[in-house]
Chain A
Amino acid sequence: MKFVCNLFIALFLCGANVAFAQKQKVTEMHGIVKDKNNEEILIGVNFKTKQGVFLNKSHVGGRVTLSVPRNADSLIVSLIGYQRVTVAHDYFMHSDVLLLEKQDYYLAEAVVNTGYQALRPNEVTGAVDVLSNKMLNEQTGTNILQRMRNIVPAFRYDNKPVQNPEVNKLNISVRGLSTINGSLDPLIVLDGFIYEGDIDNIDPNSIEQISILKDAAASSIWGARAGNGVIVITSKKGRVNDGGTRVSFNSTFSIQGKPDYQSLYTIDNSSFMEVEKMLFDNGYYKNALNTTKYIAVTPYVDLLDKRSRGIISVSDSARWTDYYKAQNGVYNYSDNFVSKPITQQYALNLNGGNKFHTYGFGLGYTHKSSELGAGDQKINIRLNNGFRLTERLQVDASLLLTDQKSKSGKPALNSLSYSGKSVPYMAFYGPDGEVVPFEREFRKLFLDQNYQNGYLDWSYYPLSDYRHSTSEVKLREVFASLGVRYKLTSFLDLNLSGQYQNQRTDKRNLDDENSYLARRAINQYSEVNQQTGVAKYNVPLGGILNNGIVSGTSYTLRSQLNISKTFQKHRIVGVIGAEMRENRTEGSSFTSYGYNDDPLISTAVDHVTRFKTIPSNTNRTITGAPAYSHTNNRFVSAYANFSYIWQEKYGLSGSFRKDGANVFGASTNDKWSPLWSAGLFWELRKENFLRSYEQTVDQLKLRATYGTSGNVDLRKTRDPIGTISTDSYTRFPTIIITSLNDPSLRWEKIATVNLGLDFSFLNRRIAGSVDWYFKKGKDLYGLTDYDYTTWGYQPTITKNVASMQGKGVDLVLNSLNLNKTVKWSSRLLLSFNKNKTTKYFNANGNTLLNFLNDGSGITPMVGYPLNGLGAFKWMGISADGLGQGVLDGNISAEYAKIRSSVALNPENSESILFVGSSKPQLFGNIINTVSWKNIEMSINISYTGDYYFRKPVTSYANLYQKGVAYPDFDKRWQQPGDERYKDVPKMTYPVLSGADSFYQAADINVLKADHLRLEYISLGWNREIMFNDHKSKLMLYLNISNLGILWTANKLRIDPEFPYKLAPQSVYSLGLKIDY
């Protein structure tokens, strides 16, 4: 009925299309301009004559009224983001509707998806970046975050390992930090709902578009967890009036170079063995060899000990020593364990739709094998359907399924150590080619003497053991959503939607009966009667199976009204709604002993009795009794977000949100936190004073926003919270107070100001945006030292003690430098971010001594960046080989006194200095794309700068304990006179207290980290082919990533992101894509 009505109106209007306005020598015409794709009415369209004269026009309810001069022969119609068209001057005399096609470049950028609503770019006041499908396909990673790397401003990927997995899983930051101890991850939203699953489950090949909400106005709609930015991911779907089914297939094959273990520094064997000999002679191992005799020692120390006890002959000892000397440990490792990582990806997507039904189907398959042979395969299935049941009612359903299986590989290099000490002469075979057992924990000599008869083989054989100790993880995820949209009136939609997600992970860790771990456990718990030789196996013979199941379920129910109303010069777009959300995890684990797969068997064990275990003689229970976990976080939110736009020229936006959470032990009031934001924009181009530049300026839009966001840590509460446990001695149920009762805890508050400018000139030859922001966090959770007489459980406690501020600028500049047969475009991303602590209670004193760590964690100190590096002033080496600093104006090697002088006089100590931030404060990328005919090439170079890193240097304590050293070891002071040109202190035994740490913290070892890196080169070739009378597109692409460092500020050319560590090797990917 409604449809007929519309048709009638349209027909009527068409008939009344033309009116003459004789006086002005112009013809007045009416018409509607629509998007060719979705038939949406477009406003703000410009019309001009061929001569460049703009026409007067006015909009009423989407209809445009034009005054066309009679002498005009044709009209040029333009709108940002759409392809320009030229039509006859009397076009609207003959037809009512003009369809505009989107510019390729802008196809995806046309919509900003906040997850709650899709906005046009010109309705947005906040700072938002949109990534199109094309941009996401520039790289070939299997994780969506990998695909976003290097192409988004303000996004920083950290190469350092995650410091605190409880608050940081993704290891990326958007616009730096906004909290000190709260959660650091941006919020991930998938198809309109918060995504609680594993980000790895999302198949990047099925993603259409990503919007990144950076400031408070953009993100505050997502509430308390949005303080770190929001990444809104939209998966591919069928479109209305798509025509037939579009089929797209792609396949990518990637191969990565073998990690270069030779690049890791190791001391040469002779020098290393000299050090071991020196330690042995000085009695360093005396205790280990005589008291804790069962603990493993390194092969050479083992030899020295056996020789000194006369267990082996001089010639045998010499033979083995020579053999070890000839070994290359990392080579031996690499040769036996490491291969080239390979990744394969396949994706098939089918999408289509007519006026009443849209559909999409996607199938993805990914297979990866790591350098250690660990395998990982993943299948993604996507299904979505949209039904337009009536003119007013639309139902959308979607389902994403993930099935992933991964298997463990060979042992990592760092797992191969002799009771924690690694050696450069590591060997897996003996001089006669025989396999040598690796003494990882226990000393073979002792075990053979004491625990041989009646026991299983104690030895660890790394070359084959990984086949017997395997772990397998199976992951299954379902992400389903259903939305019902009902058009209440022409401007009001009611949306009811829901989402359900379940991810189940099954871990299965099997150490079969031949594995080292199973044999070890059986031996440790056996009681062998030395007289009779009869063994009692408390851990039964057979394998050990560890099972772990974690299941996470989340759901959201949402009810929302969408408003979109245009009347005369005013437009209002907004949403108001409420939602409830639950995120529940359940876990269980248990261990089966005496396990065998075929025939299937397992045996019960006693988890209660404390058995005396050998060889350490400690009393222990058998681990692995069933354990369960259960968490349940619930949230309730009400929110509203409105934009008011006047004449497409001025816009105002505002949002409000109130979140409640089931904070345990909190009173009702503390469960709720209100957040709000406000913003405005001003399209300068539409002003009269810029009218004469209308030719050159396509867009010039100023934006300003202010907003607050909050943060609550559900673990931090006001009541004493106990954790249920079982006492290890009595097996009585116990409660341990793990969270201190602190009535003064509150929510964290973060306020953000953002000022932005969007610009576009010369018909988009130059376009981009600049955003300036300022963030202020207060009442932040801070760990502070306290009088632990009051509790004693831990050295620090959490309070709302901290404040911080952050500021920065994000710049995006796109330019089309050459637009001939050869097209050359550039995209420049530049982000500047600085932060500092403005308030923090530091009971250890506000001294720079706090900054002597490696800078990877947050060190809150008032007036300084959150991640920073300090250093002792270095005064060279003394004549007897000791590192020197400054103490009360004099050169000194009294390290403890230097430290205490700094502690006593933190303000202006000459002994210590603050060097700078340890996280990049300026970073960006430049992407140059050149295309010629159907070949396209992109090169992405990144710059990371304005930060410092601590060069790893040798600590003699570490060398003695763990066998770790760095290249400076070769440059150490060895004889008088060396101090004139060397900067590395001498090796001492016993370790001189404070010397290692003083030298490590010396200013000579803090280097500027700025560097340029060639991130990737990608090459594409595409061609249109006719296939069964169908226009199809074939594309071949090659991507090479991790091409290495181009330039470093430090003269040693150390990669500041991977100093003396394994840097990721180049990945070569080759792919094929067919669109049909």
Chain B
Amino acid sequence: MNRLMTFGITIVLLLMVSCNKYLDVKSNGIFVVPNDLESLQKILDASSYINNNICAMGEAASDNYFLTESNFKSLSEHWRKFYLWDNDEYTFGNDWNRAYLTIYNCNIVLDQLKKIKRKPDNELLYDQVKGTALFFRASHYLSLIWTFSKAYNSATAQDDLGIVLRSSSDLNEKSYRASVQQCYDRILADLIEAEQLLPVKTLHVMRPGKRSAYGMLARAFLSMRRYDEALKYADLFLKQNKSLLDFNNQMQVDLTKQYPFVQFNDETDLYLEMSPNGLIGQSVSSVDTVLYSSYHQDDLRKEAFFKNLSKEYLSFVGSYSAGTTFFAGLATDEMLLTRSECLARNGRVEEAIGDLNDLLQTRFRSGKYSPIVLDDPKIALDLILTERRKELIFRGLRWIDIKRLNLEGANISIKRRVEGKDYVLGPNDNRFALPLPMDIIAQTGMPQNPK
């Protein structure tokens, strides 16, 4: 009996001693605490949480499309108000939360990186992970500031309301709106640091390389109207690779297909996608008729970009996503046009037109393109800007282009006609800084953009 009792007690004691070890077992096979470089790279490879959260509201507020009366009516009030630049009552499920989801993931990576030592045997991966996180954070900050703030104006940037800069993944850190100047400073600093860390070559266009950092810097500087720097980085981008899609080559662009482009095509340097949006989807939106008619009849973009999906008007099918989603990443065509614009502004008309000819050569039917010859910088610039709009349609660039060009005096306004009534968004209107979500304003007490 005593032996049995001792046995029993021993078992009890053994249980108590070993239980903490017993409890260290993982409770779910797919759980993981990301604390090594490989896991951090995996966070950055989750494209829906990293690449595909570029803001779409700006595109939806722009002038590349319109809604027919019946399509307008079939939409919910939420989208109808958006269409008329009048929705400041929307809540979660928007560009803001999606872009900040990417930013959170980048911040988690940057926070966890601080706990890992950079050593000679891991420095390549370490730098790649850090550079990638900085790059994506900056890209989404840039997309946010284009959408929710006024265009950069060096005179007022110190006071203009920017977006929220999150320096860590800590939930308890309060959000506040930095100034536009602070935001751009952060974006540029992050991108410049990323450029030094990122590898030259990457495994997939979903991952950024050095060239992507050049491209994003060119975008940022162009939107700040700092054309010399934009030129420098666009040039660096193109020096590495300036391959373009030939629209005459059926392997690259198959005009018979519903979506003529191939995803991850040769022109794509970095793949980003816009968040879904109820206004610009191809089943709802119709391409602006004036814009459509501005393409030359031998311009293959007319067929590659637009399809008549059996309605009165045309729908946009030319996304490099080769589907219904909108590509918003970096591609050679954009950089050529950026360099071309900056060269023209710099008076280097011949080089500028050279870039333009290089691009259009691939867009026109074989043998139908006659290269442009021009020497007036003003006319050249206008031509380049027109081609920019035609080439980069539904890329998420039009909204910021309108804003910055209006600061240059372009005097672009957007008009909508609904139920016999005209709605106009005039140049430099306050509403060019779209309203933040209502619940975010309520939560944080941050100032809303003025109407």
> A residues touching B (Cβ–Cβ < 8 Å)?
282-284, 286-287, 290-293, 392, 486, 488, 494, 496, 557, 559, 561, 577-580, 610, 612, 617-619, 628-634, 636, 638, 660-665, 668, 671, 714, 719-725, 727-730, 732-737, 740-742, 785-795, 797, 843-845, 990, 993-994
Closest to B107 in A: A790
Query: Are A488 and B32 interface neighbours, CB within 8 A?
Result: no
Chain A: minimal CB distance from B67 (Å): 11
Query: Are B259 and A617 interface neighbours, CB within 8 A?
Result: yes
A283-B70, A634-B27, A741-B171 provided; 9 other pairs, C-beta below 8 A?
Answer: A561-B8, A617-B258, A632-B28, A719-B33, A722-B42, A724-B42, A785-B443, A788-B439, A790-B100
Q: Counting CB contacts under 8 A, is B324 at the interface?
A: yes
Which single member of A663, A728, A788 contacts B27 (CB below 8 Å)? A663
Interface size class of B (residues with CB under 8 A): 35 or more
> For residue B22, which residues in chain A have a CB less than 8 angstroms away from its CB?
580, 634, 636, 662
User: When A559-B15, A636-B22 are in contact, do A283 and B43 touch as well, CB less than 8 Å?
Assistant: no
Closest to A293 in B: B310
Q: Counting CB contacts under 8 A, is B206 at the interface?
A: yes
Which single member of A559, A720, A723 contacts B8 (CB below 8 Å)? A559
Q: Counting CB contacts under 8 A, is B425 at the interface?
A: no
> For residue A664, which residues in chain B have a CB less than 8 angstroms away from its CB?
26-28, 31
Query: Are A632 and B26 interface neighbours, CB within 8 A?
Result: yes
Query: Are A727 and B45 interface neighbours, CB within 8 A?
Result: yes
Q: What are 13 inter-chain pairs, A to B, with CB distance below 8 A?
A: A638-B16, A662-B22, A664-B26, A668-B20, A720-B33, A720-B108, A727-B46, A727-B206, A729-B263, A730-B45, A736-B46, A790-B175, A793-B104
Query: Are A661 and B23 interface neighbours, CB within 8 A?
Result: yes
> For residue B311, which residues in chain A have a CB less than 8 angstroms away from its CB?
286-287, 290-291
A630 to B31, CA, bound (A): 10
Query: Are B171 and A721 interface neighbours, CB within 8 A?
Result: no
B247-293 contacts to A, CB under 8 A, are: 258-259, 263, 271, 282-284
Chain A: minimal CB distance from B96 (Å): 7
Query: Are B206 and A729 interface neighbours, CB within 8 A?
Result: yes
> For residue B182, which residues in chain A have a CB less than 8 angstroms away from its CB?
none
**Among all A-B residue pairs, the 4 with the closest Cβ atoms:** A630-B29, A792-B101, A795-B92, A734-B46
A578 to B206, CA, bound (A): 53
Query: Are B443 and A843 interface neighbours, CB within 8 A?
Result: yes
> B residues touching A (Cβ–Cβ < 8 Å)?
1, 4-5, 8, 11-12, 15-16, 19-20, 22-34, 39, 42-43, 45-49, 70-71, 73-74, 76-77, 91-93, 96-105, 108, 164, 166, 169-171, 173-175, 204, 206, 258-259, 263, 271, 282-284, 309-311, 315, 322-324, 439-440, 442-444
> For residue B11, which residues in chain A have a CB less than 8 angstroms away from its CB?
496, 559
Closest to A614 in B: B258
A392 to B439, CA, bound (A): 70
> For residue A720, which residues in chain B have a CB less than 8 angstroms away from its CB?
33-34, 108, 169
Which single member of B20, B30, B31, B166 contacts A789 (CB below 8 Å)? B166
Closest to B309 in A: A291
> For residue B324, which residues in chain A have a CB less than 8 angstroms away from its CB?
618
Query: Are B204 and A486 interface neighbours, CB within 8 A?
Result: no
A633 to B282, CA, bound (A): 48
Chain A: minimal CB distance from B424 (Å): 24
> For residue A725, which residues in chain B have a CB less than 8 angstroms away from its CB?
30, 46
A630 to B47, CA, bound (A): 25
Query: Are B45 and A287 interface neighbours, CB within 8 A?
Result: no
Chain B: minimal CB distance from A205 (Å): 36
User: When A730-B204, A735-B46 are in contact, do A789 and B70 touch as well, CB less than 8 Å?
Assistant: no
Chain A CB within 10 A, most for which of B16, B27, B33, B73: B27
A578 to B8, CA, bound (A): 11
A771 to B391, CA, bound (A): 77
Closest to A733 in B: B42
Closest to B282 in A: A291
Query: Are A629 and B34 interface neighbours, CB within 8 A?
Result: no
Closest to B35 in A: A719
Query: Are B439 and A785 interface neighbours, CB within 8 A?
Result: yes
Which single member of B30, B33, B258, B263 contacts A665 (CB below 8 Å)? B33
Closest to A627 in B: B30
Chain A: minimal CB distance from B253 (Å): 16
A618 to B444, CA, bound (A): 39
Query: Are B73 and A990 interface neighbours, CB within 8 A?
Result: yes
Query: Are A486 and B4 interface neighbours, CB within 8 A?
Result: yes
Chain A CB within 10 A, most for which of B25, B28, B98: B28
Query: Are B29 and A662 interface neighbours, CB within 8 A?
Result: no
Query: Are A735 and B42 interface neighbours, CB within 8 A?
Result: yes
Query: Are B310 and A290 interface neighbours, CB within 8 A?
Result: yes
User: When A292-B283, A488-B1 are in contact, do A628 and B15 touch as well, CB less than 8 Å?
Assistant: no
Query: Are A714 and B47 interface neighbours, CB within 8 A?
Result: no
Query: Are B29 and A628 interface neighbours, CB within 8 A?
Result: yes
A735 to B29, CA, bound (A): 13
Which single member of B30, B77, B322 contacts A619 (CB below 8 Å)? B322
Which single member of A287, A494, A579 contacts B4 (CB below 8 Å)? A494
